[in-house]
Structure 1
Amino acid sequence: MGEDGASASASEPISTVTGGNKPVHRFLRGQPRSIGVVLVMMGVCLFMFGIPMTTPKDMMTDQFSPFWLGVLFCICGLVYILSERNPSKKMITASLALSIVSTFGVIFAVLDISQHISHNRWMVWFHRAHNMTETELLYMTQHYSAVETMGCVFLCHSLIGGVLLIIMTCFARAALRSSNTQAVVVMRNLPSAE
């Protein structure tokens, strides 16, 4: 009975992939689940903290960059988490594409947030140059300092998220580049043991 089982399994075609899941392991080395959780949390924070920035319409503090950047971070983080659960070439390709799009979004958001910070500093300087009462100047300075602080928080979140996206882009690109050169060896007729 043992010989029949051995001869039945010896006649079946055997397919072996050299290198195994090495390309996937190159992507998984970047800990996509951990980075995905961090990006989701940063995205939620950007989205939630962006709500107060759109309420005062009269002071030129409306900023919509945190909203769409928070959405991009959340989507990218969810794809990273899913790609560690089900590592495949399609998921790694989707991660690479979203990382590149989100990196461009970070560049645009950093420019937009920097412009708002410099605009707020200019507004404080402009109002100090004109004759204002001390009370008006105090309230205006307090308002713009709070807005500038939120802008600095958004800027830090954007830069940290951009660094994480660039790191994951490198890991995804390394995994996809190495999967193109993977060889498949198929053995149909096994040599006899004799």
Structure 2
Amino acid sequence: MGEDGASASASEPISTVTGGNKPVHRFLRGQPRSIGVVLSMMGVGLFLFGIPMTVHTDIMTSADVFSPFWLGILFCVCGVLYILSERSPSKKIITASFALSIISTIGVVSACMDFIKSMVIIERQDEYTHNNITEDDYVYLRQHYSAVVAMECVFLCHGLIGGVLLIIMTCFARAALRSSNTQAVVVMRNLPSAE
């Protein structure tokens, strides 16, 4: 009976399910560490370049509404989350990355509008001051304004590039958090030997 009981249990199918419900590997395909480093560096650049922009009291810049500062902080936090998510991927950290990426993308749209608005205001102020000052003063002022507009363009480029990276990582995070129905069921049977 012991042999018959052992052969009966050996011939029962053994099934195991492989593959998780949340395929984290989809997020890792986006190279979150590399994008995290790029976003962190862009965030530090935005923050540091925003500091000298605050000294321009005669014209309104985006630094007056702190756009480079809070956008730089958002980029840095997103970058750190992406770096951490590649080191130890989990559902919680990918969910946090996903949520912060969406918030940062909305922030990029708002900040880019601030950057464009500042460039337009500087150009209009340049036209207004041209009629009220001498030609030598206008040349000096024009050089000053062009440097400020160039910094606003740098901020705008950083914002747009960071926004594209955030949208890409949002798509990867969404794919990783979406439930997967592609589980593989492995069925193994121990067939009795021909002996």
TM-score bin, normalised by smaller chain: 0.7 to 0.9
1:15 to partner: Cα distance: 8.8
Distance in 1 between residues matched to 2:21 and 2:89, nearest whole Å: 10
Distance in 1 between residues matched to 2:178 and 2:21, nearest whole Å: 13
2:67 corresponds to 1:53: no
Question: Where does 1:96-115 land on structure 2 (aligned, <5 Å)?
Answer: 96-115=98-117
Partner amino acid, structure 1, of 2:143: Q
Partner amino acid, structure 1, of 2:81: V
Residue 158 of structure 2: aligned partner: 157
1:78 to partner: Cα distance: 0.2
Partner amino acid, structure 2, of 1:52: P
1:183 to partner: Cα distance: 5.3
1:178 to partner: Cα distance: 3.3
Give the number of the structure with larger relative contact order, counting CA–CA contacts within 8 Å between residues 6 or more apart.
Answer: 2
Any idea what SS the aligned residue of 2:179 has? helix
Partner amino acid, structure 1, of 2:178: R
Change (3 A) 1:54 1:16: farther
Tell me which structure has the larger Cα radius of gyration.
Answer: 2
Any idea what SS the aligned residue of 1:178 has? coil
Would you say the 8 A contact 2:22–2:91 is kept in 1? no
> Alignment RMSD, CA only?
2.4
TM-score normalised by the chain length of structure 2: 0.82
2:132 corresponds to 1:135: no
Any idea what SS the aligned residue of 2:43 has? helix
1:19 to partner: Cα distance: 2.3
Partner amino acid, structure 2, of 1:133: T
**Superimposed CA distance per residue, residues 55-80 of structure 1 (whole angstroms, 9 cap, x where no aligned partner):** 12232235111100000000000000
- Count of aligned pairs between the two proteins: 178
Residue 148 of structure 2: aligned partner: 147
Any idea what SS the aligned residue of 1:50 has? helix
Change (3 A) 1:96 1:147: same
1:134 to partner: Cα distance: 1.3
Change (3 A) 1:109 1:135: same
Distance in 1 between residues matched to 2:16 and 2:123, nearest whole Å: 64
Distance in 1 between residues matched to 2:61 and 2:166, nearest whole Å: 28
Any idea what SS the aligned residue of 1:23 has? coil
Partner amino acid, structure 1, of 2:100: L
TM-score normalised by the chain length of structure 1: 0.83
Equivalent of residue 76 in structure 1, options 72, 75, 78? 78
**Superimposed CA distance per residue, residues 4-51 of structure 1 (whole angstroms, 9 cap, x where no aligned partner):** xxxxxx9xxx99442258711111000000000000000000000000
Change (3 A) 1:80 1:62: closer
Would you say the 8 A contact 1:96–1:169 is kept in 2? yes
Change (3 A) 1:17 1:35: farther
Would you say the 8 A contact 1:43–1:70 is kept in 2? yes
